[in-house]
Structure 1
Amino acid sequence: MAQVNKAAEKPSKFEIAANARSLMRRALKGSLATVDAASGYPYASLITLATDPEGAPVFLISTLARHTANLLKDTRASILVDATGALADPLQGARVTISGRAEKAAEDGARRRFLARHPEADFYADFPDFSFWRLKVEGAHYIGGFGRIFDLDPEDLLVPIAAAAVLVEGESDIVGHMNEDHADAISLYATALAGGAPGAWRMTGIDPEGCDIVLDGETSRILFAKSVTSPGEARNELVRLANEARARLA
């Protein structure tokens, strides 16, 4: 009987980090763990999620919520993103716990990115007790099933954007243009490149590593072949992806 090379089966940290980033980008919800202000015990709650251009978790919470009161006293927090879905054995599925300190997020970018993924939140986003927060990532623990356990550093999880200031500044225009004028291309990305179901997919964000698209509670991450740092480079890569998608369908 041929022997199995266990070393060859073990994924590299690069692969694990890519998987963790994808989980974070695709997550619509997560479990937020805070330090309870009254008891000092861990307190876990459900929140809806988006990410900023770097990939850090962004969320909208109310001062009336217990987790917000906790964060106002102690900013330490962690967020569990669970992608195990309906697996018969969820312990064989992928999940990542991101740890760091929560802070108020810049209103403009966080608001646009969050509401693009959670349009229903537009109803209460302007209530005076609600505000956008961001988890300043300090590390993460990724589990992708048996033997796939890694600790990750911020540089493993976040996409550098220092050289992509023009892209970040123009993100709203790019996303709006794609959704209004190139919905067919977005649908091609979803179906031909990501294996998604046909439908009116929308783009919610773009960053140097790729773009995020959503449809009726489903999300997908479309990766670029190379890092982009400007609207022009992003356009070229989006056109290339559309051509690749058409070629696959043909």
Structure 2
Amino acid sequence: MPAAPLSEPGFDATIVVRRLLREARTGALATLDADGAPYASLVQVATLNDGSPLLLLSGLARHTRNLARDARVSLLVDEQRHGDELQGARASVRGHIERVADAGTARRRFLARHPDAEGFAGFSDFAFYRLVPDSAHLVAGFGRITDVEGPALLTDLTDAGELLASEEGAVEHMNADHADAIQLYAMQLLGAGPGAWRMIGLDPEGCDLMAGLDVRRLPFPQRVTTARGMRETLVELANRARGATVDSPQ
């Protein structure tokens, strides 16, 4: 089926693909074997602060050996809907893989989403890799099939150094002292069910929440680049969720 423009009011293909990537826990990674044939494997997925897909791969795995020869990949992620999977949105992201330079941030963000991976994340044959997207092909239902340019999928971090430096402490603080607000974010703003919701990451455009295997993306109402702006935004979102004034997280 040819790509079609998404003319429905309020539907933004770029936002949908960004959300799919931010909420993904697994995906199908396609690499190229030595003879040029495609090889697909199931991988765990997280994201870096800029939204680029983050993978933890073993050097012994066939897909990693393929990447050493040819870094081109395609990663398929979907909404993980119950029932008919083909009724949900899915995106195939094409690009190339590169090893992550800042392994500390990558490890923290990956293990927040996949805590069971901690047992092998430190093995010498494992390393963190990011997918640098060239484009994405979105299928989100009838008449909602289109392509998105790769750079549009990433969050600009050039002016967000202060926010990134405070992310780890802010996430720990919210989970330790404001679990009630996180629960409200998930249930009242995102329509999720009750659960042990916790925050697993922050960036200038939103935060990621998780309960069990369910990951939800909470967009910020405006771009945030400072620690103070982040606190004010989280209070604003809590106010919206409660429908009343609340005290600021300290």
TM-score normalized by the length of structure 2: 0.91
Q: 1:94 aligns with which of 82, 89, 105?
A: 89
Deviation at 1:169, TM superposition (A): 1.7
> What's 1:19 paired with?
16
2:247 paired residue number: none
Mean alpha-carbon deviation: is it higher for 114-123 or for 179-188?
A: 179-188
Cα deviation, residue 163, structure 1:
1.1
- The sequence identity of aligned pairs, in percent, is 48
Question: Quick one: which amino acid aligns to residue 86 of structure 2?
Answer: L
Query: What runs of 5+ residues in structure 1 fail to find an aligned partner?
Result: 1-6
More helix by share: 1
2:66 aligned partner:
70
Q: 1:18 to 1:69 in 2, by over 3 A?
A: same
Contact 1:92 1:146 in 2 (8 A): no
Q: Quick check: 2:196–2:211 contact (8 Å CA) kept in 1?
A: yes
**Superposed displacement of residue 73, structure 1:** 1.1
Question: What is the SS of the residue equivalent to 2:229?
Answer: helix
Matched to 1:226, the amino acid is Q
Partner amino acid, structure 1, of 2:8:
P
Three-state SS of the structure 1 residue aligned to 2:110 is helix
**Matching of residue 167 in structure 1 with residue 166 in structure 2:** no
**1:32 and 2:29 matched:** yes
Query: TM-score, length-normalised on structure 1?
Result: 0.91
How far the C-alpha of 1:91 sits from its partner, in A, is 3.4
Counterpart code for 2:89: A
**Superposed CA offset, 1:172-204 (max 9, x none):** 111111111111111110111111121221111
Q: Contact 1:58 / 1:134 at 8 angstroms: preserved in 2?
A: yes
| Alignment match of 1:85 (pick from 68, 81, 90) | 81
Instruction: Give RMSD over aligned pairs.
Output: 1.9
Give the C-alpha shift of residue 9 in structure 1. Answer: 7.6
How many residues get paired? 240
* C-alpha contact 1:100 1:135 (8 A) present in aligned 2: yes
Counterpart residue type for residue 139 of structure 1: S
SS at match of 1:124: helix
Aligned residue type for 1:109: T
Hey, what's the Cα distance between the residues in 2 that align with 1:96 and 1:8? 16
Give unmatched runs, 5+ long, in structure 2.
245-250
Structure 1 stretches (4+) deviating beyond 4 angstroms? none
